[in-house]
Amino acid sequence: MSADPDSWGKAYRPLRPRSLAVQLVLLVVAEVALYASYDVHDARFHWATHFLVALAYASLILFVRLLVTGAPGPRLLLPAVLGFHLFAMTPDIVFRGGVPHYLWMDVFLGHITAHEMPGGDGSWLVIALTCLGLFVGALTAWLRARHAEAEAGMPPGIGLTGMAVLRPQLDPRRAMLVHDENDETGSGPTVVLLHGLGASSAFWRPVTAGLSAAGARAVVPDMLGFGASIRLGTHFHLDDQAAAVIRLVERHGAGPVVLAAHSYGAAVAVTVARDRPDLVRRLVLVAPAAFADAEQARARIGGRSWIARKTMDGSPVADLACGTMCLLRRPLTSLAPRMAARVSPDIPPDVARDAVRYVWPAYRDALTSLLEDSPLPAWLADPPLPTTVVIAEDDETVPAEGLGAMLGPRVDVVRLPGTHGLPLERPAEVARAILLNGARATPGSKAL
Amino acid sequence: MTTAVDRAGRGDCCDDPQDAAWGRLPGAEPPLPTWVPAAAAAVVALVLTLVIVLVVRAPGPLDDPDPADQRDGLLLHGPVLPQKLDGVEFGGRTVVVLFEREDPMGPAFETWKATVSDDGVELIVLVGPGGEEVARRVGMPTPVDGLRPVGYAVVDASRTVRYATLDPAYEKNAFEVDVITGAVA
């Protein structure tokens, strides 16, 4: 399993005991000094109000930050409280410089009206401690989850949001990928179908109907971090995904399988075939996300999706947007099918629902792998195993011309009219392409 | 097609012989034990409660019953006073009216007076029953003990009341009066 200890170290930095101890001393000294500055002017209750307001705001913001980013921060946790306190007391600082108070100064965390709170500082104490309790509760759950993952021998789930903030992810070496499986025991081959980015096994359901009819046994997993496998795994690079698929294939013990994959799933399928050629009889890559280089990948994928573009650029906006989406995953999963029904009625409701059912690092790492370490170009140029590529003629993400130019002479090619969502648009033809059973198509020809 | 053969967490793939070899990854363990944040929060709650109880005293007999209204530093656009009230003339310059229960004296008061009455500000000290109408018209609050207020009001050159607060410790806070009079000048 791939892991990046540097990123763990960075995420854990705000929690280093020695650093926290130094921060605590700094905070206490600074607060005592601020208290003394108010006490000189017989204004101690002002210090108390603004400190409690600052503590409440800081706790809430740290709480939301933890939920959205899946890691505690900023690096200096305790001085954040001091920063909020100084911000809250800004009008008092400028007052000492000769500027009286005005009502607009409420922008400084309610500097003017905070004193109007019924119950005064007693109420603020309750509010501040409640907010602190929220943050501490979430941080405790986050720590417990990461401890549990470490204990299981997994890399910690840094950056995992949604429920993964509060509960540990499961170890994909000990829990199988959630998958659909038909009960065919006919003479057909076993076909394992891998979905693409932002999808799940639901994407292949129209195709598996055709496979079942032909007597093929179909196994369709939700890959790590996607669909119903959302709780599986903490790292989602190609080798992580491939290892999980290999375990699934090994568990089914059906001998070499036909490995069919769509879009990003093709990169996983090729990694599986490269690492364990003994498990793969043939590869069928439908609209594989193969690009000549990282720049082309960035242009093609980024051109189709704002969030993908931001993600590939490494923009923190993508982290924020996706972290927020993960927080709202539950309402979004019920909303997505209804929205899809209006915008694209052809998309099945379960496909629309699973389009938002993934953890953010799984999406990010999938995109990154297409940019940085995709094995597809090399494989397609000279595949060591029988490989069929199904090209969608109207594919805007992976244009037919560009893809065709990457294919070596040993690749069987099937061209079908349709766009990148070919398995949804032409399930019967895609099923037939998967079940070619060794009948070779000519490169550039329309086999179906 | 049957569905969902295996569910995450209920899989039966735990018999890999390599499992025993998978130990903890170095550096994967969070640096803080799980109990620390809760313990720290409990200590913070205890300390803060004690500090608030000790630091935030209840209003004294001379203080405003509502602490939020005492020395709030907020400029008013209050009522306009007549040119002469209780023998005090308003208008043409900024006036600070000090309400006291006894004649103020001593070096602390002299220092306060010198600070307050510079820059052309006139200081009027009202002691005893004479200034009740002024106190009423400028909106001086009534202290907790219900007797005469101890504090001050600031009336600008156009006779508008700009500030009125109780401040039994006014001698400590000359700079506050200076800020207010400086702002209305």
Q: In this predicted structure, what is the pLDDT of residue B121?
A: 93
Contact A98 B179 (CB under 8 A): yes
- How many domains, in total, are found in chain B? 1
Residue A147: which of B25, B34, B74 has the nearest Cβ? B34
Lowest mean pLDDT, pick from A60-64, A124-128, A357-361, B10-14 = B10-14
Write the CATH number for B74: 3.40.30
pLDDT at A388 over 50: yes
Q: What angle do CA A435, A237, A71 make, to 5 degrees?
A: 140
Q: In this predicted structure, what is the pLDDT of residue A45?
A: 80
CA–CA separation, B127 and B132 (whole Å) = 10
- B113-138 mean pLDDT: 89
In a domain, B178, yes or no: yes
Domain span at residue B124 reads: 67-184
pLDDT tens digits for range A66-86: 999 999 989 999 999 999 999
Contact B9 A175 (CB under 8 A): yes
Residue A140: which of B4, B34, B48 has the nearest Cβ? B34
In a domain, B1, yes or no: no
pLDDT at A28 over 60: yes
Query: How many CB atoms within 10 Å of residue A213?
Result: 13
Give how far A351 is from chain B: nearest CA, Å: 15
Q: In this predicted structure, what is the pLDDT of residue A111?
A: 95
Three-state DSSP class for residue B98: strand
Query: How many CB atoms within 10 Å of residue A318?
Result: 21
* Token pair belonging to A104: 């607009």
Q: Give the contacts of B45 (CB within 8 A, at least 6 positions apart).
A: A129, A132
Q: In this predicted structure, what is the pLDDT of residue A372?
A: 85
Q: In this predicted structure, what is the pLDDT of residue A3?
A: 60
Contact A178 B14 (CB under 8 A): no
Spans of all domains in chain A: 5-165, 179-434
Contact B25 A155 (CB under 8 A): yes
Query: Residue B146: which region, alpha, beta or left (left: phi > 0; alpha: psi -120 to 50)?
Result: left
In a domain, B9, yes or no: no
* Number of helices and strands in chain B (H, E): 4, 7
Contact A95 B45 (CB under 8 A): no
pLDDT at A127 over 70: yes
Residue type, A342: R
pLDDT at B176 over 70: yes
pLDDT at B138 over 90: yes
Q: What angle do CA A92, A93, A95 make, to 5 degrees?
A: 60
In a domain, B148, yes or no: yes
Q: Measured between beta carbons, which residues in chain A are less than 8 angstroms from residue B73?
A: 91-92, 95, 100-101
Asked if A354 is an interface residue toward chain B (Cβ–Cβ < 8 A), one would say no
CA–CA separation, B152 and B139 (whole Å) = 10
Q: Give the contacts of A443 (CB within 8 A, at least 6 positions apart).
A: A404, A407, A409, A411, A412, A413
Give how far A422 is from chain B: nearest CA, Å: 21
* Token pair belonging to A91: 């009008």
Q: In this predicted structure, what is the pLDDT of residue A357?
A: 92
Distances (CA, A) of A44 to A40, A107, A157, B51: 9, 22, 44, 11
Q: In this predicted structure, what is the pLDDT of residue A169?
A: 95
In a domain, B161, yes or no: yes
CA–CA separation, A352 and A341 (whole Å) = 9
Beta-strand runs (E) in A183-223:
190-194, 217-221
Hey, of A1, A104, A163, A174, which one would you mutate to test binding to chain B, going by the most B CBs within 10 A of its CB? A174
Average pLDDT, chain A: 90
Contact B14 A174 (CB under 8 A): yes
Q: Give the contacts of A126 (CB within 8 A, at least 6 positions apart).
A: none
Q: Are the beta carbons of B170 and B150 closer than 8 angstroms?
A: yes
The matching CATH number, chosen from 3.30.460.80, 3.40.50.1820, 3.40.190.10, 3.40.50.2300, for A179-434 is 3.40.50.1820
For A398-423, b where at least 16 C-beta lie within 10 A, e where not — what string? Answer: bbbeebeebbeeebbbbbbebebbbb
pLDDT tens digits for range A175-218: 999 999 887 666 778 999 999 998 999 999 999 999 988 889 99
Contact A175 B8 (CB under 8 A): yes
In a domain, B140, yes or no: yes
Where does the pLDDT of residue A7 fall: very low under 50, low under 70, confident under 90, or very high at 90 and above?
confident
Contact B73 A101 (CB under 8 A): yes
Q: Are the beta carbons of A113 and B72 closer than 8 angstroms?
A: no
Could you tell me which residue, A319 or B46, shows the higher pLDDT? B46
pLDDT at B28 over 60: yes
pLDDT at B100 over 60: yes
Q: In this predicted structure, what is the pLDDT of residue B54?
A: 84
Lowest mean pLDDT, pick from A26-30, A426-430, B79-83, B84-88 = B84-88
Q: In this predicted structure, what is the pLDDT of residue A407?
A: 96
pLDDT tens digits for range A238-279: 999 999 999 999 988 767 999 999 999 999 999 999 999 999
Q: Is A307 exposed, middle or buried (0-12, 13-18, 19+ CB in 10 A)?
A: middle
Closest CA to B48 of A173, A59, A1: A59
Query: How many CB atoms within 10 Å of residue B17?
Result: 6
Q: In this predicted structure, what is the pLDDT of residue A185?
A: 64
Query: Residue A102: which region, alpha, beta or left (left: phi > 0; alpha: psi -120 to 50)?
Result: beta
Q: In this predicted structure, what is the pLDDT of residue A329?
A: 87
Lowest mean pLDDT, pick from A142-146, A440-444, B140-144 = A440-444
Give how far A281 is from chain B: nearest CA, Å: 23
pLDDT at B25 over 90: no
